[in-house]
Every structure is written in structure tokens, then in C-alpha cells.
Structure 1
Amino acid sequence: MNSAQTSTDTPHVVICTTGGTITASTAAGGVVVAGDSDPATRAMLDDLRAVLPDSVRVSARAVLDADSSTFGPAEWDVLVDAVEDVLADPGVSGVVVTHGTDTLEETAMALDLVHRDPRPVAITGAQLPADHPDADGPANLLDAVLLAADPVSRDLGVLVVLGRAILQARGVRKWHTTDAVAFARNAPDLPVEGLPAELERPTLRGRARFTDARVDVVACPPGSDAVALRACIAAGARGLVLEGSGSGNLPPLVAEAVAELAVERPDVVVVAGTRVPRGEATATYSGPGGGAELAAHGVLSCGYLRSGQARVLLAALLSTADPVEVRRLWDRYHLYS
């Protein structure tokens, strides 16, 4: 995305809508229905304009309209293109993306990897549908717009704004299915002095196309074998994110298959992560399936990323570089190597 210099004297924030719970309605039996959200979007914008300061101008652009559980690489590409197109206008001060919370963490990562513009992109959503008496979407949208309009948010990349929390994109994951504070961020403690490490967010050199590279996530619980791993390779996966245990360790049968894969298919990039919610995945332990042994076979570690965002990063890198270069670059882009 470009780095156009813009004026923030009269902020103009463009809201890119994608559907999701924030504009969803409730059908008979309490079933939440996403999609066909134009009326709810118009009402949401009317309510927003009624409480915004007169100095902040908002407009909306419909990009997608569905439950985010249906989103994947194709939708990430669509959203990246849409945000880039909006920011081609130097009169825009910032962008807000309204999004379902199910896959918000993947979309936030995809946008952040290519967002080189200093203007902020805030991504928000809701845990309750628009017609719920306690709907949280309006407050979340107001917070996101005010953040995107504020010059203090420049150069921070993509920000997740939900439940009064503001989180940078890398390391974010949905941590609760229903709580208003839906997201948390897995990251190391910040230094007391100096530039916080989180402000160092390198972006990709080229324009990633997430649909160009199939990357699969394989759960590797205790005692699992390599059947799922081999099926993904047979289906054309160019990258694998293996969700292990502890600090990124895999069951022996999976580790054995990974060692064979390193010899037979060096074109397939393998990343090891963990099912543990917080902390860093590292190549620490020896022995069959231990992270250190995996690293000897060229397996990369997820660091502070979890499987969803690691998959996004690996797909992005594989769409812009060959496997040798991906392995060299990996630690530059994942969180705090």
C-alpha cells in the first residue's frame, strides 16, 4: 500500500464493510443470520454520524457481505485490494474494516503484512448482532473510527479495536467466543525504555496473493500419526503449519514423516507451532519430535504467532518467494524471533 502524505485537519475515514455479526440480525429460535446487511449497515452509519464529532467525516464502501467463517485466502486478497484502493485517495485519513470475529485475526494479519502506508487501518466487529438490545457493535465502530481519524494512530499498522481494547495485528487471536473483550494478543513483555519491539513491523517486499499458495494447518495431538500431513501434501499444499504441544514439539510419527519430507519434498515449507494459548514456540527440546530436532530438518518455529496467523504469513511468503528464500526470511516477519 502506498505512503501518500495526507492531511489530518479534517479527517475522512472510509469504512469497508464485510458483513459479520456487527450487521447481523436474529431469526426465529435465536439463530443469528449474517449477510444481506445493507439495511443494518445504513442504520449503523446513521447512528454513528449522530454521535461523531462534526470534524470527522465518514463514508462507507461495501466490500463483502457474509459471515467471516466463510472467508479464506480469496477474501483476504479482495480486502487487501479494497483497502489499497481506498488509500490511493490522499484525502482519506484512515480506514475502518468491519468484520466478523471468527476469522478477524487472519484478515488482520493479511492486511498488516502488506500495509506500508502510515495511515491507520482499524478492524472491528461485534459479539452480539445489530438487533440485540445490548449490541456492542455501535460502540466498537465508534472507537474504531475515532482511532482511525486520530493522527496518533499513524505508523502503527493494522489495529484490532473491540471491547474497548486496541491491539496491534500480529499475535492477535480470538480468545473468547462470547465475551465483549473478544481478543487478546500473544506477545513478549515490552522493554521499559526505548522503542517497543511491537512497533517494528516489517512488511512484505512484494504484493502477496494469498490464493497463490495452499498452506494447511494440521493438528498434531499426542499419539497422532502422519495421515493428515500426507493427505495435505497430496492435495497440493506448499506449506504446512503443524500445531504441536509445549513449545512446538510433535508426536514421534509426525516427526518421522517431517524428516522424510525434508528429503523427498524440500519444496514444502514446514512450520511448527503449539496448541498452548500463550508464550513462544521455540526449537528448544531434543529427542524425537523435539523442536531442536525439527529445526535440524529445516522446520521453522511459529514464535508468538499461533496457527491461524502463521498460515497467513507462510502463504504470503510462498506467494512472493521460493522455499529457500521463505526459510531465510521467516524470522524477519513473524513476531519477535
Structure 2
Amino acid sequence: MNSVDTSTDTAHVVICTTGGTITASTTPAGVVAGDSDAATQAMLDGLRTVLPGSVRVSARTLLDADSSTFGPAEWDRVVDAVADVLTDPGVSGVVLTHGTDTLEETAMALDLHHTDPRPVAVTGAQLPADHPEADGPANLLDAVLLAADPVSRDLGVLVVLGRAILQARGVRKWHTTESVAFARNAPDLPVEDLPPELERPTLSGRARFAGTRVDVVSCPPGSDAVALRACVEAGARGLVLEGSGSGNLPPLVAEAVAELSVERPDVVVAIASRVPRGEATATYSGPGGGAELATRGVLSCGYLRPGQARVLLTALCSLTDAADPTEGAAEIRRQWPRFHLYS
């Protein structure tokens, strides 16, 4: 699926495909289903008819599945593939086509590793390729033009859908069907006023997500600690708890977290918020309040919501290779402030 003649005067963008709605079609029963390589080829052929002559594209098929089936193993595969593409100095940028269900996690995994100045744009679609108002072609064109543009350098991984361009950290799918599918939860500050913590810190090495268990546990009002304890017994090295407000927990969950801090200090616990926007902080007192939990080593997830916080915590657990698991967990807690406003 490589494009034809090359030229040193043209920007070369590599499109890495993983399936998703952007190449899906609708069955006679009205069900959206993944399509074959032919749909991907048709997508690329259509793209080439509208691209300016200053941009050429080639493509690599990485995966071909609904992104709801993706997890740590797929994050590893995508991170490796994008890094491999960027070993070619002739590549100007990368576009990753991805299903929107779990796009925010994959984008986070990529961004944590992305130290190359060349842009990586992640895009997808809300409507299948055979829909009369399919949004995939416009999203793909926008993503390719962005990845080819030198102005996009040094911005990290960018999510491009519905004419919106968003930096990866803090991104979350906010609507199941609308074309503007994603919003970004981040500090509302002018670029010149951003503190050093917002300079997109990256990992110190290559994380391996597969094989490192970190679970997300929802903690709605009145919930108990059954799910939390089950995750620990299953071997979780970290837990992201979805609390309320700025990061507060129900009494029974807070009690279990306090016990866990004594019984299993090797398990890292972080608290995110179920609130769509704003920061989770160690603010409130009381047994379930963030301030009290912080005294027990519990981390606040800042502007990240549970999905991306899980990716970050998994990466840090993967990179911490301490002989003593308790010391390893303590090292993760020491590293966390590096990512603190986005974590």
C-alpha cells in the first residue's frame, strides 16, 4: 500500500492502521462491523485523490480490530510500531488510525514514550465508511496534513477528530456518537504561563504494558471494598480508584485503602475523579478525603481521568524493577510528582 514516486521535496507521512469504525461498514441488519483490507485500501485511495502534491503517504497495517478489544498488549505493539517508523529519517510524521472506544489510552501510551520532535496524529471516525455522512475521510485528511506540517513538531501526540486538534494528555471520549468525539481536561492557562510540570514529561525508558496489572475500580457512593480487594488478590500492582468530587472515597473503601497501606505497601493506589472536568487533588479532610488519603501514600490523578491514569501507573510499575516490591512502590510514588498536573 505504499504510494508511488517519492521526492525529497515532499513530506512523507506513514499511516499506521489498526481497524475501527473508520474502515467499518454497516451490515443489512444495521450493525457496524469491521471490514477487510479492501476497505483500508479504498480509504487510502480516496485520501490520495485530495492530498496536495507536497505530501505523500505510505501505510502499515498494525492491527485490524475493534478498539474495545485492545489492552496493554496492543499498546505495546503500537508503541513499538510507531517507534520503528520513526527510525527512518525520511519520515515527516505518523498518523495512527484507531477506533474511538479506547483511543485515549493508546494515545497516552504513545505520548509517554514520544521524545521525537516529529508529530504523531491519532485519528478515527464516529460513522462507518459507508455512511452517507462518513467523517473518517475528513478526519484522516486533517491528521495527515497536520503530521506533514512542520508547525506540529515538538507537540507530542495529537488527537485529531471533528476538526478538533487536542494534545493527548487529558483527552477523553466525551460523546458516543457526535463528530467532535473528544474533549481535553487540562489547566486553562495561556501557553506562556504553563508551569514546568506541563511540559509533557516522558518516561525514562521503554515501558512494557503487557504483564503489568493495574486495575481501575469504580467507587460510587455507598460502595464497599469487595472489588478493590479482589483486584489486589488477583495480583494488581496498582489501583486507580474512581472517586467523587476532587478525589474522595466512600467510608468502606477509604477504610480498606488505609488497611492496604499497612498490609500491602507494595500496591500503589491513585485516585481519579468521576467528574468530567477539573483536577483531582488532596484537598478534603476526613477518612475518605483526599488529604487524609495522601498521608497514607495515596496519589492524586490531577487532570487525568481513570483510563489515562491507568496507562501512566502501568508504565511506571513496568519500569520499576526493585528487588523489594515495597521499595519499588515507594519509587513510583517518588516519580509521580514529575507527572503531577497531568497525572
Q: Does the aligned pair in 1 maintain the 2:304–2:342 contact within 8 Å? A: no
Mapping for residues 261-272 of structure 1, pairs under 5 Å: 261-272=260-271
SS in 2 for 1:159: strand
Alignment of 1:1-337 (within 5 A): 9-34=9-34, 36-191=35-190, 193-194=192-193, 200-321=199-320, 322-336=328-342
Cα deviation for residue 198 of structure 1 reads 8.3
Offset at residue 213 of structure 1 (A): 1.3
What is the CA distance between 1:194 and its match in structure 2? Answer: 4.8
Separation in 1, partners of 2:76, 2:234: 22
Residue 238 of structure 1 deviates from its aligned partner by 0.4
- Per the TM alignment, residue 211 of structure 1 is displaced from its structure 2 partner at its CA by 1.1
The DSSP-based 3-state class of the residue aligned with 2:210 is helix
Of 203-212 and 63-72, more deviation after overlay is shown by: 203-212
Compute the TM-score of the two structures, normalised by the length of structure 2.
0.94
CA distance in 2, matches of 1:231, 1:300: 20
Q: Distance in 1 between matches of 2:293 and 2:20?
A: 39
CA distance in 2, matches of 1:266, 1:199: 29
Distance in 2, matches of 1:61 and 1:41, equals 10
Answer with 319-328 or 189-198: which moved more.
189-198
**Alpha-carbon deviation of 1:147?**
0.2
- Partner AA of 2:164 in structure 1: A
1:147–1:192: structure 2 CA closer, same or farther, 3 Å change rule? closer
Task: Give 3-state SS (helix, strand or coil) of 1:29's partner.
Answer: coil
Cα deviation for residue 10 of structure 1 reads: 1.9
8 Å Cα contact 1:305-1:334 kept in structure 2: no
Matched AA of 2:59 = A
Q: Is the 8 A contact 1:239 1:314 kept in 2?
A: yes
Instruction: Sort the Cα spacing of 1:256 and 1:205 in 2 relative to 1 into closer, same or farther, 3 A.
Output: same
Gap change, CA 1:309 and 1:183, over 3 Å in 2: same
Whole-Å separation in 1 of the counterparts to 2:144 and 2:49: 13
Q: Report the CA distance between 1:8 and its aligned residue.
A: 8.3
Residue identity opposite 2:187 in structure 1: P
What whole-Å deviation, never above 9, does each CA across 1:238-273 have from its counterpart, x for those lacking one?
Answer: 000000101000001000000110011111000011
Q: 1:190·1:197 contact (CA, 8 Å) conserved in 2? A: no
Contact 1:20 1:66 in 2 (8 A): yes
Query: Do the aligned partners of 1:20 and 1:101 also contact (CA within 8 Å) in 2?
Result: yes
Deviations 1:196-242 (A, max 9, x none): 76861011001000113100000000000000000000111000000
Counterpart residue type for residue 32 of structure 1: V
Say if 1:215 and 1:237, in contact at 8 Å, map to a contact too. Answer: yes
Q: How far does the alpha carbon of each residue in 1:56-105 deviate from its partner, in whole angstroms, 9 at most, with x for none?
A: 01000000000000000000000000001100111000000000000000
Question: 1:117, 1:247 → 2: CA distance?
Answer: 34
Are the aligned partners of 2:197 and 2:340 in contact in 1 as well (CA < 8 Å)?
A: no
Contact 1:171 1:335 in 2 (8 A): no
Unaligned stretches of 5+ residues in structure 1: 1-6
Question: Residues 172 and 183 of structure 2 are in contact (CA less than 8 Å); yes or no, is this contact kept in structure 1?
Answer: yes
CA pair 269-212 structure 1, distance change in 2 beyond 3 A: same
> CA RMSD for the aligned pairs?
1.5
